Amino acid sequence: MVETRTLTLDEIEDLSFRALVAAGTSDENARPLAVATAATEADGVASHGMAYIPIYCEHVQCGKVDGQARPKLWNPRPGVLTVDARTGFAHPAIDLGFDTLIPTAYEQGIAALAIKNSYNCGVLGYHTYRLAQEGLVGLGFTNAPASIAPSGGAKPVVGTNPFSLAVPGPDGEPAILIDQSASTIAKSEVMKHAREGKPIPEGWALDPDGAPTTDPEVGLKGSMAPSGGYKGVGVAILTEVMAAALSGATLGIDASPFAGTAGGPPKTGQFFIAIDPDASSGGDFAARISGLTAAIQAQEGAHLPGDGRGAKRRQAREAGVAVNVATLERIEAILG
C-alpha cells in the first residue's frame, strides 16, 4: 500500500517552487514550473507531477537543464514566433511565447510558436488548455528522446512525442481536450513502475529485440510500444516534424535522455498553433462544437476526451491531492 499525504494545490505549488529554487533555479523559472506541477497533480497525472520535481532538481544540479536560463523571443514573420529556451526549462519559454502568441492569433486569425533548445514540457495538455481558456483552439506538439522504433524495426528513432488539441468551451474550460502520446502509454509511467519495482502490463513496452515485455527495466532498454502499431509511429513522426524539424530543435534520435544525468541538455522542442475559431467558422464554431459534444454525451457511458481530468481538477480544488509520501520525502531532502 502506497502511503500518501493530502496537500492543497497551493501547498504543492509552494513546495515545488522552494525545491526548484533550492536546487539552483531562478525564481522566474521556478514559478511557472511549480504552477504547472500543481495543475498536473490536480488533473490526476501524478507521473508528471511532484514525482518529477526531484528529477528536475537533479537535472539543474548536473547541468542537464540551466535553471538560470533566460529564454529569448523572435518574431521572424507576422504570424510566426520563435523562442530559444537556451537549454532552460520549457515552461518559462512557453510562457514568454504565449504572451505574444495569444494576441497575435486574435489579430491575424492564426499564429504559430516554435520553441527550440528546450526541455521536457511536462503535460502538453496543460499548455493547450491555457490557449482554450483564452478562447482559442490550441494545437501542441512536443518531441522527446528516441524511444519508439519504426514499423518493422527494433531500434528507437522517435520519441513518445505527444500531441494535444484543446477546444474552447462556453464556461472558460475546454469543451474537448485531447492529450496523447504516440506510444501506448507515456514513458514516465514505465519509469514510475521501474522505480516502484512493479511489472508493467503487456503491450506497454518492447525488449531490445522488439518482443513484448512486462519488465519495466527491460522495456526501458528496448522501446516503447506505439499506440495502434504503425499508426502510432506515424503520429510520432508527425510530431517530430512539427516539434523538432520545424522548430529547429534536436531530433529525438540525437537528444540526450530526460532520465538520468548523462548526456547534457536534450535541446528538444515544442510547437504550438493558436487559432481564433471565429476567423474561419463564420461565427458558428461554438454551436458546432456544442452539437458535437452533445451527440457524444447523449450516449450512455460515453465521455469526451478531457472529461476525466476535468472532474479530477474540480475535486482537487476542493479536497486537495493525495501525494506519495516517498516523493514528498525526496523533495523535503532537497530543502534540507
List, for residues 168-217, the tens digit of each pLDDT value: 999 889 999 999 999 998 888 898 889 888 999 999 999 999 899 999 99
91 is catalytic: no
227 is catalytic: no
Q: Which residue has the cell 506497454?
A: 204
Handedness of CA 195, 158, 163, 275 (dihedral sign): positive
Extract the C-alpha cell encoding 328.
Answer: 514528498
Q: What percent of the chain has pLDDT over 70?
A: 100
* pLDDT score of 25 more than 90: yes
Over range 279-299, report the average pLDDT.
Answer: 95
Over range 40-59, report the average pLDDT.
Answer: 94
* CA atoms of 70 and 23, how far apart (whole Å): 17
* CA atoms of 229 and 32, how far apart (whole Å): 35
Over range 221-241, report the average pLDDT.
Answer: 95
Together in a domain, 144 and 267: yes
Residue 205 domain flag: no
Together in a domain, 107 and 241: yes
Strand partners, 137: 275
* Active-site residue, selected from the candidate residues 16, 48, 188, 247: 48
Write down the pLDDT at residue 124: 97
DSSP 47: G
Number of domains comprising the chain? 2
pLDDT category of residue 43 using cuts at 50, 70 and 90: very high
pTM of the model: 0.94
* pLDDT score of 1 more than 80: no
Together in a domain, 146 and 164: yes
Span 157-169, pLDDT tens digits: 999 999 999 999 9
Picking from 180, 177, 179, 168, the residue whose alpha carbon sits closest to that of residue 289 is 168
Task: Considering only the C-alpha atoms of the chain, give the largest distance between any 2 of them, rounded to a whole number of Å.
Answer: 58
Together in a domain, 56 and 81: no
* pLDDT score of 286 more than 90: yes
Together in a domain, 246 and 140: yes
pLDDT category of residue 91 using cuts at 50, 70 and 90: very high
Write down the pLDDT at residue 157: 96
pLDDT category of residue 336 using cuts at 50, 70 and 90: confident
Over range 125-133, report the average pLDDT.
Answer: 98
* pLDDT score of 108 more than 80: yes
Together in a domain, 300 and 313: no
Domain span holding position 254: 71-183+226-305
* Active-site residue, selected from the candidate residues 16, 47, 188, 247: 47
* CA atoms of 105 and 108, how far apart (whole Å): 5
* pLDDT score of 33 more than 80: yes
Picking from 69, 115, 119, 93, the residue whose alpha carbon sits closest to that of residue 264 is 119
- CATH number of residue 19's parent domain: 1.10.1530.10
Residue 87 domain flag: yes
Q: Are strands 212-213 and 223-224 parallel, antiparallel or unpaired?
A: unpaired
Extract the C-alpha cell encoding 32.
Answer: 511557472
* CA atoms of 47 and 56, how far apart (whole Å): 13
48 is catalytic: yes
Together in a domain, 82 and 115: yes
* Active-site residue, selected from the candidate residues 13, 91, 147, 189: 189
Together in a domain, 37 and 54: yes
* pLDDT score of 103 more than 80: yes
Strands (E), the chain: 4-7, 72-77, 80-84, 110-118, 137-142, 163-168, 174-180, 205-206, 212-213, 223-224, 268-275, 321-324
What rounded mean pLDDT belongs to the chain?
95
Extract the C-alpha cell encoding 31.
Answer: 514559478
